[in-house]
Amino acid sequence: MSDHLYVGKSIPRTIEIDKVTGRAVYIDDFKRPGMLYGKILYSDYAHARIKSINIAKAEKLPGVRAVLTGRDVPDVRVGFLKDQSVLKKDVVRQFRDEVAAVAAISPDIAREAIDLIEVEYEELPAVFDPVEAMKEGAPLVHETDARGKPLRTNILPLPWRFQAGDIEQGRRESAFTVIDHVSTTWVNQCCMGPSGCIAEFDMNSNLTLYNQTNVIFGDKGRISEYFSQIGLKGKKIRIINPIVGGSFGTKLDTDIYEFICIQLALKTRRPVKILFDREEEFRALPPRQPARFTVEQGCDREGRLTFRKIEAILDNGAYTSWGATTPSVMMMPVSSLYRVPNIYYQATCVYTNNIYCQAMRGYGNPQASFAVETSMDTLAEKAGIDPAEFRMINRNQSGDLTPMRLKITSCGLEECITSVKEKIGWNDKKGKRNGRGVGIASLIHVAGGARVTLSDGHGIMVKVDEDGFVDVLESGTDQGQGSPTVISQIVAESLGVRPEDVSVIFGDTALCLWDAGTHASRHTFMAGNAAIMACEKAKKQILEMAAEYMPRMIKSDFKKMMKKDPEFVEPELDYSLISDPANLDIRDRKIFLKSDPSHPHFNMDINKVLRRGLHVGTGESRVIAAEAFYDPPTETLDRELKGNLSMTYAFGTTGVEVEVDRDTGEVKILQLVAAHDVGKAMNPTLLLGQVYGAVYTGVGYGLTEEMKLEKGKVMNPNFLDYKLLTAMDVIPIKPVIVEPGDEAGPYGAKGVGEPGLVPTAPAIANAIYDAIGVRIKDLPITPEKVLEAIKNSK
């Protein structure tokens, strides 16, 4: 057992009382004096030429302060591949294309003005299927690239191709091989708090953007680049997070509405807020991208994997955001989930006239793991090996170097598989085919940062005042994950104070040091390590102060006591012991002697020392402040797309027991066991919150959630027809926390934000197969699909 006071304890969340009582200021509540409300007009077509835009009526509407079209703003290209403009001037390529925007004195007037804008279109042929889009003669979504060079294909110039070992060699060594076609569809991140921002320029044209991004410095960088192209080079940019109501990937890239908001603020010289409604969340935000996989695997007679070959086609939509980089994360499960010596992987992203895609929790991993874990089951069956045993044979282990060159430092996969089997009652329940069945699937994910940009660092600043209160300036974003509490625990533990003494300020580019963003399950790991480093420095300063002042203060106390009580005899003490900071430490607000923690005299409240030592007169006064920047020794992917992206990796296994109604095709989850190697739980309650939330999202991904697009248009842009599960649909989840501890993690912790989602859908699919002998390889697994498959199998 560790002797930690705060780390590893389920300390209640601190600031959430404001959220549940409605006091927290989300972007919806946030107002600036004189603020206007922006609204965006979107395209009426999936692909069309804009013939004319008439804004006269909108401009005349009382209360309207600005109407912008593509002709009113600089024609600057933005986005990951610079393949779109802020307001579309000539051609629209998807239904969410931003055609015009207004700013008005109220949201209602802004909306009315939008309705008064008349746009004349000439419809163009469109393509909605990535396979169709790759064919010769398919309508081109983009006629030229960012530089104006003519394009001949809808295939993105992002060739994701990875090879390790020799596939043919692997095939020769195989006793069994299988090939499967699996597919997944669009799902929406469904943040509770809708997207929005407030852009405000001062009279020097410096920008403050109150924004929900979870990558404040990335956002600042992209806006800075935009500024340099619209004549605002050199103007200052400050990004401030309001309270963020969830991001799940949506706030990773700078979205088009942010640039539009900036343009409206620039035009009106007033603060402008754009706030999405739920329909816009569905129609005008980039969702998780659909993918189709052809997955081929082989194993030898003993069940050892021999090769894995995966080809993926991703529907990119009309433009490119970070979604186009998800194949890099897909590569992780493709190359490194279970031990496979020979790998071939290719992913093709294709432009279509569907809405474009972005990141979502798991970032490609849920799609790819659905492919891998479907194939693992079909191969196990062909080889005649129990699916759980098959995974055990091929499990990753500590010390592995995977074909992608990921260094597996700690790995609890064996324990995860074992505990899932035991808790779900695997051996008694599997293989019955009686309408009830069990299924299993595992995951690997980055859990110690993810180096996708040059710096994967996180900066933190710590200052301590005369009362012993600690302010932490933290460059991450609190998007609801509970970091204010976890970081307080880590700071309290490493500095020697209590969590309630610590205040954490998040998300302000002016106050905080650089950070790569709160994504990729990296925040606790990165900020935790940075916090420990900063706290060590601050602690050193406090202990130096203590070594200087403690002997004097103790002696002076004795003098006071002697004055009061003439009988008092001053004890003879070796003050040299506490005159050396190396001999001292701080714990639970007390400064004490390391060699004798229970010494009757050599211990003192930290605030007593700080009050005595901080403000002492000319030349002697000082502050306690420290900063640290943790940038781990990880690697970016090399030209072969290999490299150790992360300091450590998370593993986990999900087991599901289902009951399938053969008449209706309905699937009921009877129990779900989610075992996760988390390194070390910093706050078990908060950690379980992450697991429950992610698992639940995974159940939706597996069974109910899908954005229904008809010819590029989202047909179910609301929670009535988008089947996000409700509180009434909860399923029994048994979490299992596996804590091998990781040397690189803060107090041994790994990241756990995304993992719970990843293996959920394939485990459900595998359980359905076990229950009724029918395998669904297309998400979500709707009752209609199940029933149709049952009919076809008869």
Partner 1 sequence: MLNYDYIKPESIKDVFSLLKEYGAEATLIAGGTDVMVNIRNRKLSPGVLISLRGLMDLQYINKNKGYHIGGMTTHRMLEQSELVKNELSALHDGASRVGSVQIRNVATIGGNICNAAPSADTAGPLLVLDAVVVLEGPEGKRKIPVAEFFTGPSTTVRREDEVLVEFDIPEDNSRYGSAYWKHSRRKAMDLPILGVAVALNLAEDRTIVDARIGLSVVAPTPIRALRAEEYLKGKSFREDVLLEAGRIASSEASPRDSIRGKAWYRGDMIKVFVPRMAKLAAERRGVI
Binding site for partner 1 (CB under 8 A): 108, 111-112, 663-664, 704, 708, 715-716, 719-721, 723, 725-729, 782-784, 787
Give dist(CA 697, CA 187) in Å, integer. Answer: 10
CB-based contact 120:51 (threshold 8 Å): yes
Helix (H, G, I), strand (E, B) or coil at 773: coil
Give me 790's structure tokens. 């049952």
Shortest Cβ 29–partner 1 spacing (Å): 20
Residue 62 beta carbon to partner 1: minimum distance, rounded to whole angstroms: 14
Residue 503, amino acid: S
In the bound complex, what is the minimum distance in angstroms from residue 706's beta carbon to partner 1?
10
Contacts of residues 132-136 at CB distance under 8 Å and 24 or more positions apart, as own/partner, are: 133/350, 133/351, 133/352, 134/313, 134/348, 134/350
Phi, psi (rounded to 5 degrees) for 699:
-65, -45
**Where does residue 517 fall: left (phi above 0), alpha (psi -120 to 50 degrees), or beta otherwise?**
left
607 vs 611: CA distance, rounded Å: 6
Output 767 or 787, the one with its CB closest to partner 1. Answer: 787
Least Cβ distance, residue 394 to partner 1 (angstroms): 36
- Tell me how far, at minimum, the Cβ of 185 lies from partner 1, in Å: 13
Q: Which residue number, 303 or 780, has a Cβ lying nearer to partner 1?
A: 780
DSSP characters over 526-581: HHHHHHHHHHHHHHHHHHHHHHHHHHHHHHHHHHHHHHH-TT--PPP--GGGGGSG
Q: Which of 124, 98, 452, 119 is nearest to 285 (CA)?
A: 98
What's the 3-state SS for 568-619? Answer: CCCCCCCHHHHHCHHHEEEECCEEEECCCCCCCCCEEEHHHHHHHHCCCCCC
For tokens 């300390």, the residue is: 11
Pairing between β-strand 342-351 and β-strand 91-92 as defined by DSSP bridges: unpaired
Label residues 511-528 b or e (16+ Cβ within 10 Å = b): ebbebbbbbbbbbbbbbb
Rg (CA), the chain: 29
> CB-wise, 24 or 61, nearer to partner 1?
61
Q: Which amino acid is at 274?
A: I
Q: Starting at the earlier edge strand, list the strands of the sheet with 436-446.
A: 436-446, 649-660, 667-677, 733-738
* Cβ 672 to partner 1 shortest distance, Å: 17
Amino acid at 256: I
Minimum CB distance to partner 1, residue 284 (Å): 17
3-class SS of residue 508: strand
Question: Would you say 510 or 715 has its CB closer to partner 1?
Answer: 715
**What is the rounded CA–CA span in Å between residue 638 and residue 645?**
10
**Cβ 187 to partner 1, closest distance in Å?**
14
Compare residues 655 and 665 and give the one whose CB is closer to partner 1. 665
Nearer to partner 1, 192 or 720 (CB): 720
269 within 8 A of 201, measured Cβ to Cβ: yes
Nearest approach in angstroms of CB 667 to partner 1 is 11
Cβ of residue 715: shortest distance to partner 1, in angstroms?
A: 5
Nearer to partner 1, 629 or 719 (CB): 719
89 or 111, CB closer to partner 1? 111
| Sign of the torsion formed by the C-alpha atoms of 98, 103, 106 and 108 | negative
> Where do the DSSP E strands lie in 387-534?
436-446, 458-464, 470-474, 502-506
Of 555 and 708, the one with the shorter C-beta distance to partner 1 is: 708
**Shortest gap between Cβ of 729 and partner 1 (angstroms)?**
5
Shortest gap between Cβ of 714 and partner 1 (angstroms)? 10
The conformation of residue 382, written as its DSSP 8-state character, comes to H
CB of 111 to partner 1, least distance (A): 8
603 or 704: CB nearest partner 1: 704
Q: Rounded to the nearest whole angstrom, what is the least distance from the CB of residue 785 to partner 1 in the complex?
A: 10
Taking the least distance from each CB to partner 1, the nearer of 229 and 664 is: 664
Closer Cβ to partner 1, 265 or 699, answer by number? 699
Q: Please give the structure tokens belonging to residue 35.
A: 């603020």
Q: Which of 269, 255, 271 is nearest to 223 (CA)?
A: 255
Nearer Cβ to partner 1 (127/714): 714
Residues composing the chain: 794
Nearer to partner 1 among residue 112 and residue 548 (C-beta): 112
| Residue whose structure tokens are 């992450």 | 690
Which of residues 596 and 784 has its CB atom nearest to partner 1 in the complex? Answer: 784
User: At 480, which amino acid appears?
Assistant: G
Q: Which residues of 576-585 are buried (b: 16+ CB within 10 A; e: fewer)?
A: ebbeebebbb
Cis peptide before 780 (omega within 30 of 0): yes
Residue 579 CA, distance from chain mean position: 47
Nearer to partner 1, 301 or 708 (CB): 708
Q: Where are the alpha helices (DSSP H) in 684-735?
A: 684-703
Closest separation in Å from C-beta 663 to partner 1: 5
| Rounded Cα–Cα distance for residues 498 and 536 (Å) | 15
- Dihedral angle of Cα 683, 688, 689, 695, to the nearest 10 degrees: 150
Longest dimension (CA), the chain: 104
Tokens standing for 527?
């900020």
What are the structure tokens assigned to 238, written together?
A: 């400050």
Looking at the Cβ atoms of 62 and 617, the one nearer to partner 1 is: 62
Minimum CB distance to partner 1, residue 662 (Å): 10
Minimum CB separation of residue 782 from partner 1 in Å reads 8
